[in-house]
A = this chain, B = another copy of it.
Amino acid sequence: MIPFFDFMQNQPLTIAGRTFQSRLMLGTGKFASGDLMRDAIVASGTEIVTVALRRADLSGKGDPFANILDYIPKDILLLPNTSGAMNAEEAVRLARLAVAAGLPNWVKLEIHPDPRYLLPDPIETLKAAEVLVKEGFIVLPYINADPVLARRLQDVGTATVMPLGSPIGSHQGITTRKQIEIIITQATVPVVVDAGIGAPSHAAEAFEMGADAVLVNTAIAIASDPARMGIAFKMAVEAGRAAYEMGLAESSTEATATSPLTTFLYQS
């Protein structure tokens, strides 16, 4: 379905030993219907989809995501998230319930006590990460763009770090650019820019900076045509990543002539 992909030649993404062709993760909130969500997932080419455990049936009486799985293709990794947890204890409990109910042991760790900005709590996130990593979870923590915290988390053994570009759903893009650049410089695990990615240009920019992946939700979910927006983000992700792999020229304050001064044609 995406024949141009090989042509892009982008390197795959590896998280905790598992390899993905796509570097675009999708959130599943806010879609107007399940059909629109499925179409966007397919169109975007994503291979990792995050779903809130709060929306799952963790009673153990049935498939936790039965209501959602109808809309998510089989080969996609379902990444449960602890969104809604107010502290480490709640997040750990949610993650354990998920495994007990038969879900895989991957978890996107989200702890945000503040309902207004939905910003993550650094203390509780590190605390929960320590517990969950010890229990064998593959932990992908959502964090503020804090280089010291990012380093502590990777030292603890998380599979990625997921710094925010700007508050969830704000569409402001990467307002934390300088901090994320430091996180990338120090990273020993994939850096996933999460939250604030409101336009394809924001996604491309994240990759050009050296991010390994991005997570997008609202911008696709509330688009007038989520599938088409899913493709748009896919394109932007691949474009930004390809540019990064090739290496972009540094910006300069002066111009450099493109034509007609020295060119292969002129010189011949």
Binding site for B on A (CB under 8 A): 2-4, 7-9, 27-34, 37, 43, 50-55, 67-68, 81, 83-84, 112-123, 126, 144, 146-149, 151-152, 166-173, 175-179, 181-182, 195, 198-202, 204-205, 208, 217-219, 221-225, 228-229, 231-236, 238-240, 242-243, 246-266, 268
Contacts and interface: CB of A to CB of B under 8 A. Distances in A.
A208 B229 CA distance: 12
A117 B166 CA distance: 21
Contact of A175 (B151, B170, B177, B233): B177
A189 to B, nearest CB: 17
Task: Tell me the number of copies of this protein.
Answer: 4
A228 B5 CA distance: 11
Contacts of A81: 259
A148 to B, nearest CB: 5
5 contacts: A2-B4, A30-B262, A68-B265, A201-B236, A235-B239
Contacts of A247: 223-224
A111 B168 CA distance: 29
Contact of A256 (B83, B169, B224): B169
Contact of A239 (B3, B28, B170, B200): B200
A168 B117 contact: no
Contact of A258 (B218, B231, B265): B218
